[in-house]
Chains A and B, each alone.
Chain A
């Protein structure tokens, strides 16, 4: 009886601790989210004209109209392509840091990568604008050395510029999970594989790569999810590249069709959550925490 009382009191105190966070998030996150869900089912027209009748037309429009379909597919393709590029750069670095350095040297090098990147989001985009731009450093150097006659423009206001900037921004977010998973593979597995006659290449493809899958999955989420909502990078270096983030910003702030914009945003949320669920389910992210 007495014991039950104590347990009950402890539990309620723990619940009490969670109250401020729960209340705050309900008030300033979940209710706003519900607000845009409600908006997404209303009828809207440009210039903030809203009719409060229930309709599914915004979702139908988002998934059937050519423009939004293209933007949606393009954004997914860019996000996945960016992820692959980052993975190709980050994996060798993470592998090197995890397997070929001793003690916390790897951590210190990650720290070195992180220092300039934990801040200065817009400043980094700005720096790349000045390097890749038409009057920028790259063209300046290429023309000084006589490699090109005219300023080259493919690197500015293009897809490549977006990928380069995101590669710069997101590199540590890919390296850190990869480093952790590769580091946690026990040395004995490599020795066993070598003893059983594997060469280095097959050790990599049959031991290291499968066992680092959780790290790859996490870094995919770290890159894919922010990319789906990115609008500053495409707006500043992307030129005509028009991503889902730009589409949503334009619908909210320029065109002013809030119901349609809200339906687009909710579609983005849904897709993000579904992708996350699939990744967590099939790639065994749980193993990382066990």
Chain B
């Protein structure tokens, strides 16, 4: 047994280090290197790629657009998804409703992208940041419903009944009883929809038109080999900030007992 255990331990550690962390660490490492290729030995420490990046107006615009889109998607999908998750849990014959809500989540993103493109074109809405937001909310609603419904199912319904018995109406009950109890799951779904929207490339690619978001900026810059160090610097910033946010969110989630990370 102990041999198997040692083997699995080594296997797990090596996989995590080499497969998951090594490529990402390299990006950060080489963003400080004075060369346009990922090649050892180091040519010397430099921050010039970061300075060059800050002079690039399209990069700053792409980050700004991505944040705006992600905030709008987060707000929109929460305001639609929170009521839906109540219906998800409380409806008695809900199989049809579950299927209806979940299908956008289980089909490939490419389909949402092209369907939105054709739809917006056909009814004559010009492609812009707005269409990106509208198309991101489609997959965010089921995501929000999954996370919040998982919490609602485990909620004791007697709390709400007691509150109603004591004379509170529906809205008061929600604000004073239900909301504080499900607050962690709301916070987590707000953050996950934000992150996924910020990171989304496949749907954005079809619905962005001539505008720019961060993934679209990376995609465009990849065509020019000389841009590699600049992308590396931009990526390093996003990796560091993003990982910090994800780390805080997931530890919060484990502490609150919100189950396994991500969507389950």
Chain A residues at the B interface, C-beta cutoff of 8 Å = 13-22, 24-25, 28-29, 31-33, 35-36, 39, 89, 92-93, 95-97, 100, 104, 107-124, 126-131, 135-137, 140-141, 144, 167-168, 171-173, 176-177, 179-180, 200, 221, 225-226, 228-232, 236, 245, 248-249, 252, 258, 261-262, 265, 268-269, 272-273, 276
Contact = CB atoms under 8 A, between A and B. Distances in A.
Contacts of A231: 110, 202
B262 A258 contact: no
B129 interface: no
A21 B20 contact: no
B86 A14 contact: yes
A96 B12 contact: yes
A18 B106 contact: no
Contacts, number: 266
B1 interface: yes
Given A92-B11, A116-B243, A118-B246, A171 B20 contact: yes
A119 B198 contact: yes
A78 B250 CA distance: 32
Contacts of B260: 107, 110, 176, 179-180
Contacts of A92: 8, 11-12
A92 B228 CA distance: 36
B261 A111 contact: yes
B201 A252 contact: no
Interface of B: 1, 4-5, 8-9, 11-12, 15-16, 19-21, 23-24, 26-27, 30, 37-40, 79-81, 83-84, 86-88, 90-91, 97, 100-101, 103-104, 106-112, 114-119, 122, 134-135, 137-138, 141, 145, 170, 192, 195, 198-202, 205-206, 215, 218-219, 222, 228, 231-232, 235, 238-239, 242-243, 246-247, 250-251, 254, 260-262, 264
28 contacts: A20-B79, A21-B80, A21-B84, A24-B141, A28-B119, A32-B115, A35-B118, A36-B119, A92-B12, A118-B192, A119-B198, A119-B242, A119-B246, A120-B24, A120-B235, A126-B218, A135-B39, A137-B26, A144-B40, A167-B19, A173-B262, A200-B1, A228-B108, A229-B107, A248-B110, A252-B118, A268-B111, A276-B106
Contacts of A129: 222
Given A20-B84, A109-B12, A123-B238, A168 B20 contact: yes
A114 B247 CA distance: 9
Contacts of B21: 116
Contacts of B114: 36, 248, 252, 261-262, 265
A29 B200 CA distance: 17
Contacts of A180: 260, 264
Contacts of A14: 86-87, 90-91
B199 A120 contact: yes
Given A114-B261, A119-B246, 8 more contacts: A21-B145, A24-B138, A35-B115, A120-B24, A168-B20, A168-B23, A171-B19, A249-B110
B136 to A, nearest CB: 10
Given A14-B90, A18-B87, A114-B250, A107 B141 contact: no
Contacts of A16: 83
B93 to A, nearest CB: 11
